[in-house]
Every structure is written in C-alpha cells, then in structure tokens.
Amino acid sequence: MKKAMTLALGILTAVGGFFDIGNIATCVQAGARFRYQLIWSMVLATIVVILLIEMSGRFACATKKALPDAIREHFGFGFWLVPFLILTVIHILVLGAEIGGICFALHLLTGYPLQVFALPVAVLLWVFLWRATFSAIENSTSVLGLITLCFVVAAIWLHPPTHEVLQGALPSMPATNPENYWFIAVSIIGAVIAPFLFYFYSSGAVEDNWDRSYIPVNRAVAVIGMGFGSVISIAAIIVAAVVLAPRGIRVDDYHQAALMLIQVFPYWGYELFAVSMAIACVGAAIEVALSMAYTFAQTFGWNWGEDLDPAEDARFSLVYTLALLGASLFMLVGVDPLKLTLLTMAISAAVLPFVAIPMLLLMNDRKLLRDAANGVFSNVATAAIVVLTIVLAVVSIPLMVVGGS
C-alpha cells in the first residue's frame, strides 16, 4: 500500500513542479502566436524530461544520493563549482519568475499593483518551508495543483481541430517571423527541462527513503507525472490557439493571457486563471527554493532535510530563506514578470549541458549502480539528449537577442 501512496504523491509532485510560470508563459505565447505549430517542442521536451527524471530517480534509489551530492563526489569540487554557481543564478531567476507569477495572480484577484505582493508572498512561502515537513509540502502543493486541470477541461470543451493539433505534434517551419518561432520553441524546452526538477526530485527520493525496490515506482512517476504535466501544458497551448490567436492577441503581457479561460468559463474563467497561475507558481517556487537548499547542503556536506527543524539544519534553512528574499527583489523593483520569465527560460535552456553531461557519466558508473546503470537504449537516448542540449546552448542566447520580442 505504501508504494501506491508514494506513486500517487510522486505523480502529483511531478505535476506540481512541471507546470509552472515558465510553462504558462511559453505555452500561452506559443498558442497565441503560432496556434498548434509548436506542440512538437512540448512533446520533445516532455520525452527528454521523462528520461532525465527517471534516471535521476533511479540513481537516488540505487545509491541513496541526490544529484548534487553525487556530482561533487564523482567529478570533484573543481568540476562542480562552475555548474553550481551558474545553476544558483538560474535558480534565483526562476524563483523570481515564480514569485512574479504569484504576485501577478494576486494582482488579477485584487487589482492592487504587483510590487505590493512581492514581500508578503516571499514571507508566506518562507513560513510554509520553515514550519512544514517535506511530506506536508509535497501533498498540499500537489493536491492544490489539480486545479490546473481547468486548462485540460477548457481545451476539450473548445474541441480544437484534431487534425491540426496532431500536425502540430510534428516539427514544421513557421510561415512568419521564424526567429520568434524558434525562440519560443527553445523557451518551451528550457521551461520544461528545468534543472531544479532533477535536483528536487532526486533529493525528494532520498528524503522519502526510496531504495532499489522503488525503481519501478520511480519509472511510473516519471512517465505519468511528467506526461500529465505535459498534457496540461499542451492544453494551455490549445486554449490560447483557439481563444487568443483568432482575435490576433499576441500575449506580450500577462493581462492578455488572463482572458483565455473566459470563453469556456464565462463566470469563473477570470478567477480560475488567476488561482491556477498562483497555485502552479506556489508549488514550483517551493520546489525551486528547496532545490537550492538541497544543492548547497549537499555540495558542502551540511545536515539537510525538510523533516529536520530549522534549528537542526540552520545553514540549509538559511539558504532557502535568503533565496526567497533575494528572488522577491525582482518584483519589488518592478521587473516585468513575463519578460523575466522568458529571459529565464532562454538562459535555462543554455545551461542544460551542465545537467545532461554529468547525468550521462553518472548513469554509467557500473561499479556503483551495478544493474541500475544505463542500458544501451538509455545510453543512446542520453547521448542524443546531450547533443540536443549542446545545440540548445549554442542557439538559445543568440535567439533571445534576435527573436525575443
């Protein structure tokens, strides 16, 4: 029975972490500007994230070590320091974007300006992390995350032309402004394959004491959880394509996105969008803040774990505290949340090799993993992922400059 519970929670966590501000921003823009044509980049990103999540979970089950812990031990401090510093900057940016999403949702619900909510949101998230245990966090954010199903209901209700949707699942060249098309394609991939997902997921597996017997559960969680999150994201693309694209609304600002559910839910559509956005971002913000604390604690060998009291792991707790305060500054100084999100997703896509390459090497440590190591199929797939991440790394920044309107 415990495994079934774990499976359910694992799936919900995967959904909580998957569908966040990055997905909302990139999917709604993709739908509004290119209708169904960019669904393929979500499909590709989902396949890659399923493989990488499955591997990071399998590694944690087999060795009781999360990724940051393993990478430092395997490749040494010198190699790990550079990715560690870069990923810390990325995590602060992503946390800032998530907090921006929550603030914007509260702005929609109350009408008060964004800046007003920056610090209260950071404090609210901090109280949650300071007092709650890991399982309490995992359960609550995940159950609340179910509200994002409203995008799926809306997409089904609007019954889009299935022929065009399926066609969108295959890569195709855009008719107009290709730079923006490829920029959004890269941002979608950057939003889905977020580094914090793997650090949080593998640390969570260690927190939940998963062992080798959990490897099948891990595989199911990876496939169903990530797949489920992807369905919600594709639904968001479809709703934007049906509601916003025909009206010529391009979504340069979240206010434009807030209108997308009203056609399907005339009375509740506006509030539903705001609440879904808030909850998706709360779930993701908590996972990013925790992922940073895990990464710091495991890098320097501190005591760590959400089930410990802050007094028992002072340094772990202070990392997420400082991260939350630092990340809330973006909204405080009035940075535009949508632009911050898109910038972050593009940069996030640029650092993926730092996640994929260590993963390929770690999963081939036969002495440590023995039968849990990568087989030929996962090695070929991972090698292909490494190549993809290098290509993404090379094109993402130039594309942001040229196509990032």
Give the interface with other proteins as residue ranges (CB under 8 A). Answer: 63-65, 69, 72-78, 81, 107-108, 110-111, 127, 130-131, 176-179, 247-253, 255-256, 258-259, 262, 266-267, 269-270, 300-304, 309-311, 313-315, 317-318, 361, 364-368, 379, 394-395, 397-399, 401-403, 405
Between 267 and 333, name the residue whose CB sits nearer to other proteins: 267
Q: How far apart are CA 71 and CA 77, in angstroms?
A: 9
Between 5 and 402, name the residue whose CB sits nearer to other proteins: 402
Q: How far is the CB of 169 from other proteins (least distance, A)?
A: 26
Q: How far is the CB of 130 from other proteins (least distance, A)?
A: 6
Alpha helices in 193-243 (DSSP H): 195-207, 215-220, 226-243
Give me the amino acid identity at 177: N
Q: How far is the CB of 107 from other proteins (least distance, A)?
A: 7
Give me the amino acid identity at 4: A
Between 157 and 166, name the residue whose CB sits nearer to other proteins: 157
Six token digits for residue 66:
């999360």
**Count of alpha carbons within 13 Å of 241, Cβ hemisphere only?**
25
Q: Helix 39-63 and helix 195-207: axis angle, to 10°?
A: 30
DSSP 46-65: HHHHHHHHHHHHHHHHHHS-
Q: How far is the CB of 226 from other proteins (least distance, A)?
A: 26
Between 161 and 177, name the residue whose CB sits nearer to other proteins: 177
CA distances (Å), 293 to each of 52, 94, 316, 352, in order?
21, 14, 5, 20
Between 32 and 345, name the residue whose CB sits nearer to other proteins: 32
Between 4 and 266, name the residue whose CB sits nearer to other proteins: 266
Between 32 and 226, name the residue whose CB sits nearer to other proteins: 32
Q: How far apart are CA 35 and CA 50, in angstroms?
A: 25
Give the H/E segment covering residue 14: helix 2-18
Q: How far is the CB of 78 from other proteins (least distance, A)?
A: 6
Q: How far is the CB of 13 from other proteins (least distance, A)?
A: 23
CA distances (Å), 233 to each of 26, 163, 351, in order?
9, 19, 22
Q: How far is the CB of 111 from other proteins (least distance, A)?
A: 3
Under 8 Å CB-to-CB from 79, ≥6 apart: which residues?
A: 71
Please calculate the CA angle 221-225-227 and round it to the nearest 5 degrees.
120
Q: How far is the CB of 8 from other proteins (least distance, A)?
A: 26
Between 81 and 156, name the residue whose CB sits nearer to other proteins: 81
Alpha helices in 67-177 (DSSP H): 67-110, 118-131, 134-145, 149-157, 162-168
Between 384 and 402, name the residue whose CB sits nearer to other proteins: 402
Q: How far is the CB of 225 from other proteins (least distance, A)?
A: 27
Six token digits for residue 252:
């340069």
Give the H/E segment covering residue 384: helix 376-403
